[in-house]
Structures are given as C-alpha cells and as structure tokens.
Amino acid sequence: MNSSFATNIPQKFLTKTIVKGASLLTLSLLAIYPANAETSVSLPGVAASGNNLHAQGSTPSKSQVTNVNQLSDVQPTDWVFQALQSLVERYGCIAGYPNGTFRGSRAMTRYEFAAGLNACLNRINELIAQATTDLVSKEDLATLQRLEQEFTPELATLRGRVDALEAHTAQLQANQFSTTTKLTGQAIISVNAGGFSGDRIVDATGQNVLANSDPNPTVLYRVSLDFDTSFRGDDLLKIRLDAGSGVDLNNRSDGTIDNAAGLLEPFFGSPIDYSSEPPTNNDITIGRVFYSFKPTSDLTVSIGPDIRATDYADYNSYANLSFLDFSTQAFVNNLLIFPVDGPATGAAIHWKPGNGAFSVRALYAAADANNPGDNGLLIGSASFTGLLYPDLRNSNIVSNRGLFGDTYQGTVEVEYAPSRSFTLRLQYSGGEVIDNRFDALGVNVELALGQKFGIFGRYGYGSYNDTAFGDINPNYWMAGIGMRDLFTQGALAGIAVGQPFIASEIGNSTQTNFEVFYNYPFTRNIQVTPTIQVINNAGNQESNGTIVTGTLRTVFSF
C-alpha cells in the first residue's frame, strides 16, 4: 500500500468531498498500480453520458446505477461494499453492466480507469461549484490535479474516441436501411461445361434419349437478397428474393438443366443444387418467407408460407451448402428423405434440451398449400418424384391441394453431438406424393479428425408405393473427406462418392457419382471454387457412357 500518498490527503477532504475515505484511496491506488491486463470490457462511467465506447473491442455497454443493490454481484459482506455504496448512491459516478452486474473482480485497463476518474472528477467540479470556497484546500486540489495530469493522455484518447464514435453513429443513422431490418445478399456466377463417352445418353426408363452430343458450355447464376428483421432480438422474420438462370420446359421454368450434369442426368441428384433451387428463368421470385421465434432459450419455432424442408434437417459441416462445399444435389442432402424439397408451406421446431448434446428437429412441409382447388401446376416436389410418378410432369395434374393436400412430408431428426468432433443424426420422413404413400429412414454422421480434417457420410432407405415401377424400396449412400485451411486459411476442399438411387426395378445398373472441389477464399466476400464431377451409369443405365463435367463457381457475399 502506498501509505505515504494516502496520508498526504487531508482528513477534511476525505470527509467533505466526493472521493473521501476508501473511495479516494481506491482510485489513488488504481492510478499508481494500474492493471497490466488489457481486458476487452466496456468503459466504466461513460454510459452515464449516453455514449457506448469500446476499449479494446466490441463489448456490452454499461449503464448508470442509482443504488448499490442494483449490482447483483456486490454483497453487503464484500469489503468494497461501503466504497461502492458511497460512489454509487451519493456521487453517481459508477456504472454497471446491462445485466445488473459490476464485475469487480475483472482486471481494469488504464483507459477504463481514466473513464471512471473522468466521471468522478466531473462530479467533484459540480460539488465545488455548489459549495463554499473553503470546502477544498489547496492540498486537496493539488492531489486531484496530479491525478488528472497522470491520466491526461488517456482522457484525450477517450475524447477523440467519443467524437469519432458520434460522427460514425450519425453517418450510420443517416444512411441506415432500417432500424430493425438487415439486408444481406449473395450472387453466384458459374461457368459450366461437360461431355460424355459413347454415342448417347438415355434417361432412367431407357426409352427417352437425353443427348446425342456433348452439351454446350453455359454460364449460370443465382442471386439472393435477404431481408432479416428482428423485433425482439431473439426472433427473425426472413424474406428472400431469388433470381436464377434456367430453361423454360413444358410451360415451367426448370433450373436443373442449365448445367451439363442436370441436362444429362436430371433425376437422381446430379444437377447443381444452387442452380436447381430457384425454379426460375431470369425472373425475380420469393425464395423464403418465414418467422422464427424462441418460446424458451432451448426451443426455436419457425412457421412460414414459403419454406424449404432442407433448411431444417440433415445438416452436415462438410456437405450441406452448395455455395460453399459440394454442388451435386445428392451430396448436399439425402434425396430419399426429401421428396418435397422445393417451395412449401409449413412449420418446424428445433429443440435442444438444456442446450446439451441432444437435439430434436421436426418439420411439416406441404407443396402448393396456397391452392384451394384440385388442379394446376404442382411445384415443390423433388426431381426423382417426377420419374416415380410421371403425372407430376402434367401441368394440370389433379390432386388435393391446400395446407393438408396430397403432397406433403413430415420429418423428425434426432441429433447427438457430445463434442465438436462427432455428430450423429437419425432421421425419419413420411407423407404422400400425389396421394401415394412414402416412408424413409436416414443416418447422417460426421467425424472430425483434428481441426482441419474430417470424414462424413449419409445413408438412406425408403419405401415408395404405387410408382411407375411398382412398390419400390430404394437405397441411398454417400461418403467423403473434407479438409479445411488447405494451402491457405479459410479454404475448404472435399471429395465424395455416392450412389443416390439404388433400385433394382429401375434400369440395369446403379448410378455412381463422384465430386471433388476446392473452395479458395480470395477475401471474406469473394470465394472461387473449381469443381469436377463424374457420373458412371447415369440414370441406372449401363449403356450410358461416363459423364464428366467441370464448373468454376464464384460466390460474392455482401
């Protein structure tokens, strides 16, 4: 303890001014023995002036308290209680955090102490101006002046930061899009080309010729704008605008055939996923409309008139986002558990009891739920369902529509993730496709072997009734390897192989897909990914030669 400094402070000053007794002694000791730790905590005392500053980064702001009992972590038995009580209740120059804590055990930087000293000095000046001339002696003022001089650089820096923050805040307020809504966007532009060996490619029925020559190279794109609105801080209203390349086919826009793989094998998950998702042909459409909220801290509920079932289940850290990792539809999701993978209406929940290792997800998705009639173009079913149920290709198919129509799915997923290194997901989906029953089971697993290497895989087993091939029980599997930070930080590479639709009733062989990609981040907002895709026995037809395609994907995020 610096006893010589403490004894030089007159008793009169200790008893008649703001920094009397233990309060001034505490501040004085802090001035002489500042903490060495440069902790990232908010500046004490500044909140009272209406400013939210940050000493060494972005941190929660403090707010002025008027009673020491408002500080939940300060107890009457604490040795510092009386000093804080004096500073808070009598002089008003101590602030607490928004959650009602003082955090007195944390280290303090010189900047933080300077802010607190500044608040108390301002209060002293007020008392001096209001009191008689003999309230403070020359010795008292000299002590205060020494403290103020000691922290002159810190106080000057704080004033500069306040001025800069006020100017920046004014600029943001003048140019802000909305006080509650955040606008984000993404543009994907890809160059795609491919070809095949042999004379021709036939479809999965073996009857229709899809190509007699290699397809022409194409440029495809997808643009999304998200309007994310929060009213309470823990809720989300999302509205997405989508536009993408595509081809008009049979009076409907088809995004699966603007790329070589989708043209040559359209049914079993070979098309590029991000091209297939917006079923548009250069038109701007609504891509998502839903509202999510949290009734409890471990439960999230989502409901909306325009959702995608694949947004709520079958996650995977290495194979799930086609703008980031694999592009092949069959590697992004388990085909069999998502016969309704397009625009749908429904609801979903995500429950993580006690925020522990287990999670439960459930969803209901109905295609064409806004149609009260029984006919019209049915949008929302997966590509393979058009092969199983050819009536889906009819632009005026007759079936019950609406929220509980004949084409819907319900999905339940249980996830076990005891650590960041291992995750196991068990899945069930059931429902109808134009009044034909389906049930499917799925397994999704991923295992991280260190921080930069992981393996993953999916398996599916389904039962689809009354298809064009009878009652069938297709199987699905895929497996792969993922590598992070390969050659540069933030990069992602992967290789995967799979058989998306194993069914002896369809074709005379089994289709096998391969894909390898390398995602190179030029910046946080620009990523370039070359991808090579290989398809053997496309459409489960042995006569089809090997298909090889290449894509150069560029993603702009803003």
Cα separation, 551 vs 515, whole angstroms: 11
Q: Say if residue 125 is in the same domain as residue 187.
A: no
What pLDDT sits at residue 59?
40
Q: Are 163 and 272 part of one and the same domain?
A: no
User: How far apart, in whole angstroms, are the C-alpha atoms of residue 456 and residue 464?
Assistant: 27
CA-CA distance, 315 to 106, in Å (whole number)?
A: 39
**Angle at Cα 303 formed by Cα 300 and Cα 305, nearest 5°?**
160
119's enclosing H/E stretch is helix 110-130
170-219 pLDDT tens trace: 777 666 666 678 889 999 999 999 999 999 999 999 888 999 999 999 99
Tell me: pLDDT of 40 over 70.
Answer: no
Q: Mean per-residue pLDDT for 328-333?
A: 96
Confidence band for 26, pLDDT divided at 50, 70 and 90: very low
Confidence of residue 510 (pLDDT cuts 50, 70, 90): very high
The answer on pLDDT for 546 being more than 90 is: yes
DSSP structure string for 352-404: -GGGSSEEEEEEEEETTTT--SS-S----B-HHHHHH-GGGG-TT-----STT
Regarding whether 243 and 99 lie in a shared domain, the answer is no
**Are residues 90 and 185 both part of a single domain?**
no
Name the domain count of the chain: 2
**In the predicted model, what is the mean pLDDT of the chain?**
82
Distance CA 434, CA 379 (A): 12
For position 260, what pLDDT does the model report? 93
Is 105's pLDDT higher than 50? yes
Domain boundary among 147, 175, 203: 175
CB atoms within 10 A of CB 527: 21
How confident is the model over 437-489, as pLDDT tens digits? 999 999 999 999 988 999 999 999 999 999 999 999 999 999 999 999 999 99
pLDDT exceeds cutoff 80 at 165: yes
Cβ pair 330, 478 in contact under 8 A: yes
User: Nearest to residue 126, comparing CAs of 116, 136, 114?
Assistant: 136
Task: Tell me if 264 sits within 8 A of 239, measured CB to CB.
Answer: no
Are residue 167 and residue 192 in the same domain, yes or no? no
- Give the domain CATH number at 292: 2.40.160.10
Taking the C-alpha atoms of residue 540 and residue 105, their distance in angstroms, rounded to an integer, is 67
pLDDT of 443 reads 98
Whole-number pLDDT of residue 108: 74
pLDDT digits over 46-73, tens only? 223 233 323 333 344 455 666 777 777 7
pLDDT at 1 over 50: no
In this structure, the answer to whether residues 277 and 388 fall within a common structural domain is yes
* Least reliable range by pLDDT among 143-157, 179-193, 405-419, 451-465: 143-157
Tokens of 515: 């894909």
**Containing domain of residue 342, as a range?**
181-557
**Residue 135: band (very low, low, confident or very high) from pLDDT cuts 50, 70, 90:** low
Lowest-confidence region among 29-33, 152-156, 327-331? 29-33
Domain end residue (candidates: 140, 175, 210): 175
Same domain assignment for residues 235 and 100:
no
DSSP, collapsed to helix, strand or coil, labels residue 242 as strand
Write the pLDDT tens digit of every residue in 465-479. Answer: 999 999 999 999 999
Give residue 334's pLDDT.
97
Same domain, 146 and 267: no
Q: Are residues 527 and 419 in the same domain?
A: yes
pLDDT at 111 over 60: yes
Q: Which amino acid is present at 334?
A: N
Would you give the distance in Å from CA 37 to the centre of its chain?
Answer: 33
pLDDT tens readout for residues 377-392: 888 889 999 999 998 8
Alpha-carbon torsion (440, 397, 286, 243), positive or negative: positive
What is the H or E stretch that residue 350 is in?
strand 344-351
What pLDDT is attached to residue 73?
77
Say which residues have a Cβ less than 8 Å from residue 329's Cβ, sequence separation at least 6: 269, 270, 271, 272, 273, 276, 322, 335, 383
Query: Residue 522: is its pLDDT beyond 70?
Result: yes
**pLDDT (mean) for 536-554:** 96
pLDDT for 27: 42
pLDDT of residue 284: 87
The H or E element spanning position 161 is helix 152-175
Say which residue, 40 or 497, is predicted with more confidence: 497
Longest dimension (CA), the chain: 107
Are 356 and 440 contained in the same domain?
A: yes
Summarised one tens digit per residue, pLDDT across range 359-371 is 999 999 999 999 9
Residue 116 is predicted with a pLDDT of: 74
Q: Report which of residues 257 and 135 the model is more confident about.
A: 257
Q: If we measure between CA atoms, which residue out of 255, 334, 256 comes closest to residue 501?
A: 334
pLDDT the model gives residue 36: 36
Q: Which of 131, 149, 175 is the last residue in one of the domains? A: 175
Quote the pLDDT of residue 180: 78
- pLDDT recorded at residue 163: 80
190 and 169 both lie in a single domain: no
Same domain, 147 and 217: no
Quick check: 558 pLDDT over 50?
A: yes
- pLDDT at position 436 is 94
Residue 285: the pLDDT is 87
Pick the residue with more confidence: 260 or 29? 260
